[in-house]
Structure 1
Amino acid sequence: MPEQIHAEQGHADLIVTGGRIYTSNPAHEWAEALAVAGGKIVAVGTDAEVRALAAGSTAIVELDGELVLPGFSDGHSHLGLGGGQAAWELPILPTDTKEAIFEKVRAWGADLGPDEWIIGGIVGATVMDEIMNTDDLAALDAAGGGRPVLLCDDSMHNRWVNSRALELMDVGADTPDPDGGTYVRDASGALTGVLQELASAVAEAAADASVADPDSRNRVSLKTALETLNSFGITSVQDAATMEYSWKALSSLEADGEVTAWVVGSMPARNFIEAGTVGEDLFAIGEAHRSTHVRPDFVKFVLDGIPMTRTSAMLQPYICHHGHDDPGFTGSPLWTQDELVEALELCYDRGYGGKLHATGDAAVRLVLDAVEVVRRRHGFGPIFQIAHVEFVDPADIPRFAELQVVPDASPYIWYPSVIQDSIAKQIPEDTVNSSWPTKDMIDAGALLSAGSDWPCALPSPDPWTGLETLVTRRNPDPAVEGTLNASQRLTIAEAIAAFTRNPAAAMGLADVTGMIREGLSADFIVVDQNLFEIDPGTIHKTRVKQTYFEGRKVYDLSDALAADGDVPAPLAAG
């Protein structure tokens, strides 16, 4: 039976019909039409049933057979960083060579004052691997023309700066490394300009100090982030590390009715790669800015680093490259189990969920062990997520469902980015070949949820590339051969769930959005091809024609084309 309820006033504000509606609701997957009243979905069913809710004031959208989907949910995005890059910064592709980067820095600086910072990204992990000595620092100095340069890498954990930036950071040859970070030096001890982990926060703080009106700038950054999400069909998002500036900017946008997605924040418990307040003080700031659409509901915990810099906590040793390498080196977690258990109990006490960054399989196990302790003590309560579930020991896969821990996957990271090439230099081949066990997670009953990790890996939060790679396990670029752990391919329906209802539930919005179902927010999109009928290798070419948030159209492809032609483009060839 089609589901249908009537609006309180007996009619709908908006009816959408004439297309194929995939609801992502397992109880009622397909429909012919939907109706909206008061920002919520009030009917999903046949054309005749839904049209019965029409009145003289009802707006009717007549489609021409297009596919309608729930608004997508991005379970892991960095809005301030992504929006800031899109609004203000030098765009660099992760496939750019060092020479191409130097030329882009030189050209960008030509329009800046002599002391203005050149900030940009994203630098590919393979380029970061090649920065070994002061020759590259000198080349970046020359490209900057005396200006400070700060470039982000594709993990967002590391930065590449020039000598002028190091000077403004007050970092010299004898400066000790900060806690949790490294000023990378060459064999002679000279600084190379590469900053790892929390050393990046020192550079970010120096660059932030140069901004004359940070509140206005940040407001533009966050508004740009929301507009970018909408252009890709995303209507709910979990910000993966929400700092004070983001809370203030989002609150300002909310006051003006300009928040066009559900935003769930994650507040770092300890110092993060962005400089600023963390822990209890940040929790208080988040709560002060809580609103209808902006929700400070999660705490962010960083358990380890990233495999490219050998800072992930692994069960098996890293690959040795030099005679002096420790053949037993596996990296170390940043938390002890006792510390983590105490922190997770805070989530129970305060009613927060936990988003836990754990890229290595040893870090994943540490999280699962700590969650098991608190679940036994207190029962099932807070939502806990593990990002990014790249490396998971097979014995730990069933524990995700057993402990109700959400695997927060980032399919963008494996393809089409260059990160995998860098990972393969550090992680043993058999571990890489068994990575990202997405199908096993689903089969074991886990709530697999996808997130872009924007602006990490790729320069936009494009969900269509990530959705395709969940299905194909191949790079969308046909020039790149091979598959990654092909046994883990998902069906189209499973992949759509990972981008709609699953992340919505994972961020605590199961009763708000994620499906086209009566009573939920009227968040839906119209796309230009039917994902169920096309070659899965062409999913990345999908374009969003319209995005609706609470029944209001917040993106229209035709309007964007008419305005300036600046519309989302495929991230991959083919």
Structure 2
Amino acid sequence: MSGTAPDLIFTGGPVLTMDPARPRAEALAVHAGTIGAVGGRDEVLALRGPRTEVVDLGGRALLPGFVEAHGHPTMMALAVAPPAVDVRPFTVPTGAGVDARIRAAVAAAPGEPVCAYGIDPLLQRDLPIPTRQALDALCPGAPLVVVSNSGHAAWANTAALRAAGITRDTPDPAGARFLRDADGEPTGEAHEGGAVEALLWVVAGDRVRPERLAASLDWAYAEHARVGITTAADMSTEPSFVPALRAAAARPDAALRVRSYLIGTPELAADPDRRVPFPGHAPAEELFGVSGIKLWAEGTAFQGTIATSFPFLDSAATRAMEAIRCAHAPMNHTPEQLAELVVAFTAQGYPMACHVHGDVTFEAVLDAYAKAGADDPGRLRAMRPRMEHCGAVTPDQYRRAAELGATVSLFMDHIRWWGDVLADDLFGAEITDRWMAVRSAWDAGHRVSLHNDGVCSPTDPLSSVATALTRRTPASGRVHGTTEVLTLDEALRAVTTNPAWQLHLDGEIGTLRPGMRADLTVLARDPYTVPPGLLPDEAAVTATYLGGRPTWTE
């Protein structure tokens, strides 16, 4: 360790390194933000100096800082940071509660725009799908926008449509759409990125003012640190927010390293000068960097907007959301358009990430990646193009993706929160048993990562780990797909080492060995001594360190 005494030494509990060469150790030393030594208790303690702080773990476990492979810290800041109207089913479990919370927000700010984020009629069973008329009754004089928990749909009242300038003549944004009635008038419902964003800007208000956004980002970053996350991908950064993210990273007490994937649009593909430059992957020492471009190839099962080779069930839930009960629901882009975008961004040096659930869409994304790498497959492989969520993907498709050099990140807690919904309301037991087929992805050769998708489920890597081990929906106790589970070794790598590799940070974070950044998570117990389903509770995070600096303590 170059003869300099460490700043910190951790001992008194297991050090779980995620390093196959030495999976466990007794102590770890930190100097100037990096790991100086990992080894036995006596050999590491022998390095201490008069100013070295020795942290007694007291039997707690030390792991690499968790890496949220697919998060939305900016969306968390804009949509659910206090005093936002958070109506997600994890905070408001009933439709009656949603109605009461929106009414209270409207009453508290008469005449002001209101945005309520997070409704989910599939989990809030007594909640009707909003209509323009119902929202007009709730808030007749000011814009009101209600956004789905998935973020793929929004509903507006008349005042919001008027403020957004959306009329029967308004064209649909690329890859998105405003729903219309039989006479061609907008109903107030919007699907997918550009259309949802058009409504959100109307009610954004002072949330985007620099001082308000800075405070909200601080809150969102602290929420990540609280669950042991030291690095998060921001998977759909509006380019105009990049200066605010850079400013957040420059603060001396910044609690999170952020890597942004910018929202990809046809306009940006055609006009690179409008885009944030991509000079290459920023080193881990820099707490903000741009990592690539994100595309939404399709929507979500929970709106009936994914393209699959199998139909939706004919159920009350699918009838209510008017899911297309046949194969090949509409993608956000045609396969040809998708390939054009992927080829354009890849040629300009931007690594790609594509949101995809349906097996039909997954095949289209694979074809687009193959076309982008046709002239130089090695270059494409080195860029580590990503596939996000991957609900209905088949083992053969995972193998083809691995052969192309693509990498996958799975939204594992779909099973925790919506496993019963998928089985009973949307697709049936057979499809649900292979939904988020993480074992198949791992066995196909992928360095799989697990994620919580920001606001769409509670941000908690240990929850993803527990679901990967059990595939249990806690609300009912049902297990969906016993053959698609990971081991604890694999699942922990899927929230540390593997996502670090996907973000091109694998030489600096995700493993505890000398020379790596001292990004650390302390768990209340050794996770190997805890029943898998109890991990989020019994092995909860008690402290988080970013580059050796504490960002959260219990």
Normalised by the length of structure 2, the TM-score is: 0.89
Aligned to 1:440: 440
2:104 is aligned, of 104, 107, 130, to 107
Is 1:43 the counterpart of 2:37 in the alignment? Answer: yes
CA distance in 1: counterparts of 2:87 and 2:269, whole angstroms: 29
Moved more, 96-105 or 263-272: 263-272
Aligned to 1:120: 116
Is 1:41–1:522's contact at 8 Å kept on the other side of the alignment?
yes
Is 1:238–1:263's contact at 8 Å kept on the other side of the alignment?
yes
Distance 1:548 1:184, change over 3 A: same
Aligned to 1:225: 220
Trace 1:248-267 onto structure 2 (pairs within 5 A): 248-267=243-262
CA distance in 1: counterparts of 2:207 and 2:472, whole angstroms: 45
CA distance in 2: counterparts of 1:83 and 1:278, whole angstroms: 30
Aligned-pair distance for 1:387? 0.6
CA distance in 2: counterparts of 1:66 and 1:500, whole angstroms: 18
Aligned to 1:196: 191
Is 2:96–2:126's contact at 8 Å kept on the other side of the alignment?
no
Aligned to 1:66: 60
CA distance in 2: counterparts of 1:186 and 1:348, whole angstroms: 39
2:305 is aligned, of 296, 306, 311, to 311
CA distance in 1: counterparts of 2:469 and 2:481, whole angstroms: 12
Is 1:517 the counterpart of 2:501 in the alignment? Answer: no
Aligned-pair distance for 1:66? 0.5
CA distance in 2: counterparts of 1:138 and 1:75, whole angstroms: 39
Moved more, 222-231 or 422-431: 422-431
Structure 1 letter corresponding to 2:528: F
Distance 1:425 1:278, change over 3 A: farther
Is 1:504–1:514's contact at 8 Å kept on the other side of the alignment?
yes
CA distance in 2: counterparts of 1:33 and 1:22, whole angstroms: 10
Structure 1 letter corresponding to 2:455: P
Trace 1:137-536 onto structure 2 (pairs within 5 A): 137-144=132-139, 146-171=141-166, 177-184=172-179, 193-197=188-192, 198-208=194-204, 210-211=205-206, 214-270=209-265, 280-284=272-276, 292-319=286-313, 328-378=326-376, 379=378, 380-416=381-417, 418=418, 421=421, 425-427=425-427, 429-456=429-456, 458=457, 460-477=458-475, 480-536=476-532
CA-to-aligned-CA distance 1:67-112 (integer Å, 9 cap, x gap) = 1111000000111111221233112132633322110112223332
CA-to-aligned-CA distance 1:43-68 (integer Å, 9 cap, x gap) = 11000111121011111111211011
Distance 1:279 1:297, change over 3 A: farther
Alignment partner of 1:381: what SS?
Answer: helix
Distance 1:548 1:116, change over 3 A: same
Structure 2 letter corresponding to 1:262: R
CA distance in 2: counterparts of 1:289 and 1:109, whole angstroms: 44
Is 1:244–1:286's contact at 8 Å kept on the other side of the alignment?
no
Distance 1:234 1:282, change over 3 A: farther
Structure 2 letter corresponding to 1:306: T
Moved more, 400-409 or 36-45: 400-409
Aligned-pair distance for 1:254? 2.6
Alignment partner of 1:455: what SS?
Answer: helix
Structure 2 letter corresponding to 1:331: A
CA distance in 2: counterparts of 1:279 and 1:120, whole angstroms: 34
CA distance in 2: counterparts of 1:37 and 1:79, whole angstroms: 29
Aligned-pair distance for 1:328? 4.7
Distance 1:319 1:475, change over 3 A: closer
Aligned-pair distance for 1:297? 1.8
Is 2:7–2:52's contact at 8 Å kept on the other side of the alignment?
yes
CA RMSD across the alignment: 3.1
Distance 1:382 1:286, change over 3 A: closer
Aligned-pair distance for 1:295? 1.2
Stretches of structure 2 that go unaligned for 5 or more consecutive residues are none
Aligned to 1:560: none
Distance 1:327 1:50, change over 3 A: closer
CA-to-aligned-CA distance 1:254-313 (integer Å, 9 cap, x gap) = 3333433221110122179xxx99962453367699782211121112211112323212
Is 2:234–2:259's contact at 8 Å kept on the other side of the alignment?
yes
CA distance in 2: counterparts of 1:219 and 1:286, whole angstroms: 24
Q: How many residues align?
A: 539
CA distance in 2: counterparts of 1:178 and 1:375, whole angstroms: 28
Aligned-pair distance for 1:137? 4.2
Alignment partner of 1:159: what SS?
Answer: strand
Normalised by the length of structure 1, the TM-score is: 0.86
CA distance in 2: counterparts of 1:245 and 1:489, whole angstroms: 40
CA-to-aligned-CA distance 1:431-455 (integer Å, 9 cap, x gap) = 3332111011112211111111010
Is 2:388–2:409's contact at 8 Å kept on the other side of the alignment?
yes
Alignment partner of 1:414: what SS?
Answer: helix
Aligned to 1:548: 545
CA distance in 1: counterparts of 2:446 and 2:121, whole angstroms: 30
Distance 1:352 1:327, change over 3 A: closer
Structure 2 letter corresponding to 1:442: W
CA distance in 2: counterparts of 1:288 and 1:248, whole angstroms: 18
CA distance in 2: counterparts of 1:175 and 1:349, whole angstroms: 32
CA distance in 2: counterparts of 1:254 and 1:311, whole angstroms: 36
Aligned-pair distance for 1:499? 0.5
Is 2:181–2:187's contact at 8 Å kept on the other side of the alignment?
yes
Is 1:320–1:326's contact at 8 Å kept on the other side of the alignment?
no
CA distance in 1: counterparts of 2:207 and 2:295, whole angstroms: 31
Aligned-pair distance for 1:231? 0.9
CA distance in 2: counterparts of 1:326 and 1:73, whole angstroms: 36
Structure 2 letter corresponding to 1:354: M
Aligned-pair distance for 1:41? 0.4
Is 2:434–2:484's contact at 8 Å kept on the other side of the alignment?
no
Is 1:307–1:423's contact at 8 Å kept on the other side of the alignment?
no
Structure 1 letter corresponding to 2:398: I
Is 2:518–2:546's contact at 8 Å kept on the other side of the alignment?
yes
Distance 1:175 1:381, change over 3 A: closer
CA-to-aligned-CA distance 1:301-349 (integer Å, 9 cap, x gap) = 2211112323212223444578x99875412333444544444444554
CA distance in 2: counterparts of 1:30 and 1:133, whole angstroms: 51
Structure 2 letter corresponding to 1:103: A
Aligned-pair distance for 1:182? 3.6
- Percent identity, aligned pairs only, is 27
CA distance in 1: counterparts of 2:129 and 2:50, whole angstroms: 71
Alignment partner of 1:240: what SS?
Answer: strand
Aligned-pair distance for 1:364? 1.0
Aligned-pair distance for 1:188? 8.3
